[in-house]
Structure 1
């Protein structure tokens, strides 16, 4: 009689998959190593370099031998800078003790979910979603409850739909505005209604605000959930220096929240990463306390690239792209091509664009949609134009 051999791996790690966007990055890297020239619209990072004053702060930290362990939550100057920068930008009200510095915003989200979600808890997530949300929830033992949005409405999230998804088992609502992958921005009134409804029910809202500075609305309409102070005790705000300060490789993120929640996140971080790179922390202080004007300049550049990208995508045969309100992604609908020329899924489209047109994009099914692909317009204009040219030629060949 055959015996069943138990897996040597934990149930937790078997609940999740490798990041599909990073797998696409690895596949593209293999092709580059073979000498193939690719136009890359897959990477979710700025094409601008880290500003010089931030780099100098990192260099100075090395030269002054600031290279030892620090406290798990971050050095005091940095925690203070996080709180003060957020107050100055978004009129929030957090003390340094209500902050934590993390190795990227992604880990801040991971810590928050691990801290708040128990086995069997429900977590409300809007679709399309960032690829890592479902896996992070599953790893924590929770279950995602998905709320659909409509492409015809620009993927706008409605408070009524989120509230309808709440059950007695709901523990957390994840909000991501501007959204990755759609670029949709939650309307301030809808945002407030969701946050206050959650607060009233004792439900936590984890706000992924990694693109909060890349909101193309007029300044008076740009918000952070930190403005909803009445709900502060049931919110965690997760931010990143990767996008606004062009520091993706530095691994610099943060979270703000109720002190008891932050203390638990710090405890978990202390047992997983110990402390964050000391050099990165000094660079982050310089980013948060130094000149901020370049963020607006960068946002203006992205707005121009967005307009050109969306116009170019909508000029492709049988492709439609909603106008993103923020971030630096476009999420065009390519469903017309499903079932044609051996194309079974948007993954097939993405893989063939890579192999045949040498354009890097990401499949929409990893973000919760089988009808779309995601691409980033955080590239220089020449690269964007070349990518659109190659995509047009490829799509026309499929007709």
Structure 2
């Protein structure tokens, strides 16, 4: 938050920043999705919808998920939410009691920890290692399980590391959880931005369906971050509880945005393939650039749109932490990044490559110049 506030202040003063901090696509929303929203406005689709979203959209989400991943959900095992974050937050609220434990692999998305703690839960962290490609295994998870473990939280592809948990490891983790009566919550926000091959959802593991809580979002897949549309797929009883909570908070997601979402999931998916192909080019560009900077080590991300370089050699040499380094990089180098402390992993900085090639090149050169000046 402090980095964002400072970046906003500098921009207001006319400072030219190379912004590699954004956690959203640089693409615009595809035209057919925008047109569907416009048509919904013109057709006065402006009344309340069912709290869980109108049936046609829920059925379309189920159909898309089945076609892409072979899952077998019904529309009443699906709820549409005001963004993927709402799906996550509400699910924690209905699933976690005070003292329940949630296993969270590190690095983790910034909101996970606060969401768990807000509803009285306790976070149990499992740290992955950059030198091992941030690999997460069932054996690592098993060591963190206690009688109070309620949920194992997975996020693959991962924000911020871009790591993808292998299908073998995912299956082993889900099997372990089911055998212990533990739920697996899978944040699949970046599921279509998987560069290792065909995207994989835990929903394809149909035999473990009753142990799975799938969280989805249209934000990253269709460049719809500001539209705020997500969903959850889970056992019918869980969806019923989510509907009750949502009915007393946000109620239904915005009606015209639901129509846009219907066009997104039921229309051509070529836009998704095109964006994924461009992200791979941008990923290769930023990794190549970062690897030319002395003191920087970085893995090749397997998904999402973030690089998460290890800059511990630099912070150790200069005698500051990554928060201070990132703040100085912004103030003096005019590059926006996010310090690893926000993700539970000091010594790293997250840079987004959801940007133009020109901005990436400009940012890399500024990082190189700034680090050389320290």
Structures share fold, TM-score greater than 0.5: yes
CA deviations 1:257-278 (Å, max 9, x no partner) are 1010011111111111011111
Equivalent positions of 1:52-67 (< 5 A) are 52-67=31-46
- Matching residue of 1:128: 107
Whole-Å Cα distance in 2 between the matches of residues 102 and 35 of structure 1? 37
| Aligned counterparts of 2:159 and 2:324: Cα–Cα separation in 1 | 21
Look up the match of 2:238: 261
Tell me the secondary structure at the aligned position of residue 164 of structure 1: helix
1:387 aligns with 2:366: no
Give how far 1:26 is off.
3.3
Q: Which of 95, 107, 113 is 1:116 aligned to?
A: 95
Q: How does 1:38-187 map to 2 (within 5 A)?
A: 38-187=17-166
Q: Deviations over 1:255-298 (max 9, x none)?
A: 11101001111111111101111111000000000110121111
**Contact 1:172–1:203 (Cα < 8 Å) also in 2:** yes
Q: Alpha carbon RMSD of aligned pairs, Å?
A: 1.0
What residue number does 1:13 align with?
A: none
Superposed CA offset, 1:200-248 (max 9, x none): 11111110000000000122xx310001111111111101100010000
1:224 equivalent in alignment to 2:224: no
Task: Name the structure 2 match of 1:290.
Answer: 267
1:263 and 1:30 map into 2 onto residues whose CA distance is 44
* Alpha-carbon distance in structure 2 between the residues aligned to 1:167 and 1:282: 44
Measured after TM superposition, the shift of residue 340 of structure 1 is 4.3
Question: Following TM superposition, by how much is the alpha carbon of 1:339 offset from its aligned partner in structure 2, in angstroms?
Answer: 4.4
- Could you say which residue in structure 2 is the equivalent of 1:10? none
Structure 1 CA distance for aligned equivalents of residues 327 and 20 of structure 2: 13
- Which of 325, 328, 333 does residue 349 from structure 1 map onto? 325
Alpha-carbon distance between aligned partners in 2 of 1:82 and 1:311, rounded to the nearest angstrom:
37
**SS, match of residue 374 in structure 1:** strand
Counterpart of 2:211 in structure 1 is 234
**1:270 aligned partner:** 247
Task: Measure the CA separation in 2 of the matches of 1:320 and 1:312.
Answer: 11
Runs of 4+ in 1 over 2 A off after TM superposition: 23-27
SS in 2 for 1:310: helix
Say whether the 8 Å CA contact 1:212–1:224 is kept in structure 2. yes
TM-score by length of 2: 0.98
- For 2:4 and 2:229, the matched residues in 1 are separated by 21
Do structure 1's residue 304 and structure 2's residue 281 form an aligned pair? yes
- How far residue 133 of structure 1 moved from its aligned partner, in angstroms, is 0.7
**Normalization by structure 1: what TM-score?**
0.92
SS at match of 1:31: helix
Per the alignment, residue 376 of structure 1 pairs with: 352
Note if 1:194 corresponds to 2:173. yes
Q: Deviations over 1:151-170 (max 9, x none)?
A: 11110111110122111110
Match for 1:208 among 174, 187, 192? 187
Q: 1:75 to 1:26 in 2, by over 3 A?
A: farther
Determine if contact 1:25/1:43 at 8 Å carries over to the other structure. Answer: no
CA contact (8 A) 1:171 1:204 kept: yes
User: What is the match of residue 313 of structure 1?
Assistant: 290
